[in-house]
Amino acid sequence: MSSIRRIGTPAVSVDDPFANPALQRRSVGAVTLESGSVIPDTTVAFQTWGTLSADADNAILVEHALTGDAHVIGDIGPGQPTAGWWPDLIGPGKPLDTDRFFVLAPNVLGGCRGTTGPSSLAPDGRPWGSRFPRVSVRDQVAVEAALADLLGITRWQFVLGGSMGGMRALEWLASYPDRCAGVLAIATTPRATADQIAWGQAQILAITSDPHYRGGDYYDGVAPEAGLGIARRIAHTTYRSAEELDQRFGTRSQGEEDPLSGGRFAVESYLDHQAGKLVRRFDAGSYVHLTRAMATHDIGRGRGGVRAVLQRYPGALHVAAVDSDRLFPLHLSNEIADAVDEQVQVVRSDCGHDGFLIETDQIDAIIRASLARTPSASAVLSRRQVG
């Protein structure tokens, strides 16, 4: 079980994600990572909606972004400090229609909301901390595949996600092309770019330079909340567009505070607020490990390149992007779509990368259209076998 200490309090005070009765867990046993390291016993936390059909052919996998979790929809409650991050997209009559589909959302390997990560207890009963091995997006997807095996899901009807979740969706079609009939990759990339790695490095250094980080072994003391807060400020700036920030805040001061006299600009107050929200609910060690995993993402690595991987995929690949996204620019989605002669479905938004979380009406329409153009899992498998 993963239990993350509340920020700034003694280590005996913990936030148990499994206090949320909707959060389930399974052990997938020992996991050998790309690096060769082994996690002896790996727990995966997940939530589900709907009913799995008798032949398990109606399953949909939803992949969360960097600081998301398995709680895609729903309210704040015990063990769940945040409301669902994609409201109104799962349920009867919703785009992920639970009258038709069984929807599953796992917390990612390396995370801090129930799945094994650096804050989890190692076999010796102490938090993994600095001993937690490097994980990759491929490792994360391999763990999700092991969970699917335990649940009797041999093929997904649909796999979708945005940002880091989109990375995992694309890795599914690369690692397990026969196990997903359709994939929807939203506001993401088939490979990490130097720009994304550079932004990630600044965030990692903000955390690891915090004296409280202690090389990752801070779980018996005070969390590196200052470093995590700075990392969030950096990241959140890349999540919004420059135009939106300027239109929303400009150079206005925060209330009566005068920046010329040491007060804050309104945009600084906004970033302070975003940082404060994250440090109250997320583990700095997980932030570091997940950011490093994203930096090594490349579905074409060792497989003949991105284009070759995408063209080998026998299922239906759908791509969506936010027109104002400066972290995962539109040209990265075009690279995916061009490889398979698809058109990118564009989300119109002034909000930048976060548009995929904010413009839910447009995402609703994109999911419905993509599902309508995805053949059944059995049809894709038959086509693959004939080919």
Q: Which residues are catalytic?
A: 163, 325, 353
- Residue with tokens 């419905």, as numbered in its chain: 368
Cβ atoms 345, 319 nearer than 8 A: yes
Q: Which of 334, 364, 285, 195 is nearest to 5 (CA)?
A: 285
Cβ atoms 356, 320 nearer than 8 A: yes
Cβ atoms 21, 136 nearer than 8 A: no
Cβ atoms 174, 198 nearer than 8 A: no
Instruction: Determine phi and psi for 127, rounding to 5 degrees.
Output: -55, 145
Q: Distances from the Cα of 45 to the Cαs of 105, 117, 133, in angstroms?
A: 9, 11, 19
Cα 117-356-245 angle, rounded to 5 deg: 100
- What DSSP character marks residue 265? B
Q: What token pair was written down for 72?
A: 């895609």
